[in-house]
Amino acid sequence: MREIFAGLPWWVKWVAVPVIALVVFGGLIASVVGFVIGLLFKALI
């Protein structure tokens, strides 16, 4: 993985790192939000 990153131009890193972070944290946040909404939904019924 590091070898691939070392061979990339700097602008690719500037684009790729935020995108990867968004994908990883976006999935995490989405699952947490879905879990909370599910709990609220069960509490209301």
User: Smallest Cα–Cα separation from 17: which of 32, 1, 37?
Assistant: 1
CA separation for the pair 32, 11 (Å, rounded): 32
Instruction: Tell me what pLDDT residue 1 has.
Output: 67
What tokens were used for 32?
């947490």
Instruction: Tell me what pLDDT residue 33 has.
Output: 95
Is the pTM value of this prediction over 0.85?
no
Instruction: Say if CB 27 and CB 35 are below 8 A apart.
Output: no
Instruction: Tell me what pLDDT residue 16 has.
Output: 86
Ordered mean pLDDT values, 10 residues apiece, the chain (45 residues): 74 86 91 95 87
Instruction: Tell me what pLDDT residue 11 has.
Output: 83
